[in-house]
Chain A
Amino acid sequence: MALFDAVLELADDHLVLGHRLSEWCGHAPMLEEDLALPNMALDLIGTARGLYTYAGALEGAGRDEDDLAYLRGERAYRNLLLCERPNEDFAHTILRQFYFAAFMVPYWSAAARSEDETVRGIAGKAGKEMAYHVRHCGEWVVRLGDGTEESARRMKDAVEALHIYVGEMFEEAASAGIAALPSRAGMRGEWEATVDHVFGLAGLSRPVVPHPQTGGRAGVHGEALGHMLAEMQSVHRAHPGATW
């Protein structure tokens, strides 16, 4: 596969998860989180912009970041299933973000040594942001998991619901054989160490998953993504080329 496809996968992960987080804006359980979640959403969307712009340049077909984000349908999206999962409750949202960020920290750290200058540039900025996402969400996982009866139950439900999507993160997919990007499978050890440390403090354990869910990299998504993209893309499709 070409570097274009691999960069597009990364970009889709960041945009879809960023959009999901942005859905909390104005709805978070407290003002402090109402700022924190959209802050993190903007980190992800900012990274997605850089990745889409680079993908467009690699493709050389004249597509820019907006074309790639707003004019591709559900089947053309290559994001991880984890990233498109609905927000459900605060526990689901925080765990989804923790799982993703715990992967991206070692990934960007390795990508910061890439032979590709653009990849190095994006990795340097995104790595710092993801380190904060791990910290912020990790602290919440501990407090919800080791909190009240209700918060512990919700946290356990979130682990049960989302852990089936974890394995897909470590699939090489389009980045197989691409020298400019790190091996995704190689992140498993560090991811598990990060999660185990936090789960230990939270009184949670990593479940065994007999039937992991995968397919996002092939464009086979859950029902939730179509609805999300329809909303996200509606303005651009109604007003093509609009600027402000």
Chain B
Amino acid sequence: MSAEVPLWEVFIRPRNGLAHKHVGSLHAADEVMALNAARDVYTRRGEGNSIWVVPSASISASDPDQAGENFEPGDKIYRHPTFYEIPDEVGHM
């Protein structure tokens, strides 16, 4: 059955003010059924207060073959904002 039913990615917001976070995927015929299934599969223990579901087919992913040029910036340490003296008066940043 699952071969005929589309796949959905599920995102849960654990608390107000936090971002929705990817928690997994499931099969469902449409978005209403996907939201119901997400409630049953992923929020049984009070994990959150909001659910998003997105058709997995709508997600564009980066190519693992491009991981080198994408994710390995090398020793460009100047990209980290660690060369500034922050005055104490600024407080927590």
Contacts and interface: CB of A to CB of B under 8 A. Distances in A.
Interface of A: 29-32, 35-36, 39, 132, 135-136, 139, 143
B45 to A, nearest CB: 11
Given A30-B1, A30-B5, A39-B44, A143 B37 contact: no
Interface string B27-66: 1110011001101110010000000000000000000000
Contacts of A132: 39
B44 to A, nearest CB: 7
- Give the dominant DSSP class at A's interface: helix
B5 to A, nearest CB: 7
B41 A35 contact: yes
A10 to B, nearest CB: 25
Given A30-B1, A30-B2, A35-B41, A139 B27 contact: no
A39 B40 CA distance: 7
A166 B33 CA distance: 27
A32 B1 contact: no
B58 to A, nearest CB: 19
B1 A36 contact: no
Contact of A136 (B1, B26, B36, B44): B36
Contacts of A139: 32-33, 36
B89 to A, nearest CB: 51
A29 B40 contact: no
A36 B27 contact: no
A169 to B, nearest CB: 25
A2 to B, nearest CB: 37
25 contacts: A29-B1, A30-B2, A30-B5, A30-B27, A31-B26, A31-B27, A31-B41, A32-B26, A32-B27, A32-B28, A32-B37, A32-B40, A35-B40, A35-B41, A36-B40, A36-B41, A39-B40, A39-B44, A132-B39, A135-B36, A136-B36, A136-B40, A139-B32, A139-B36, A143-B29
Nearest to B38: A32
Contacts of A35: 40-41, 44
Nearest to B30: A143
A32 B41 contact: yes
User: Which of A30, A32, A35, A36 has its CB near the most chain B CB atoms (within 10 A)?
Assistant: A32
A32 B2 CA distance: 10
A143 B41 contact: no
Given A135-B36, A139-B36, 6 more contacts: A30-B1, A30-B5, A35-B44, A36-B40, A36-B41, A139-B33
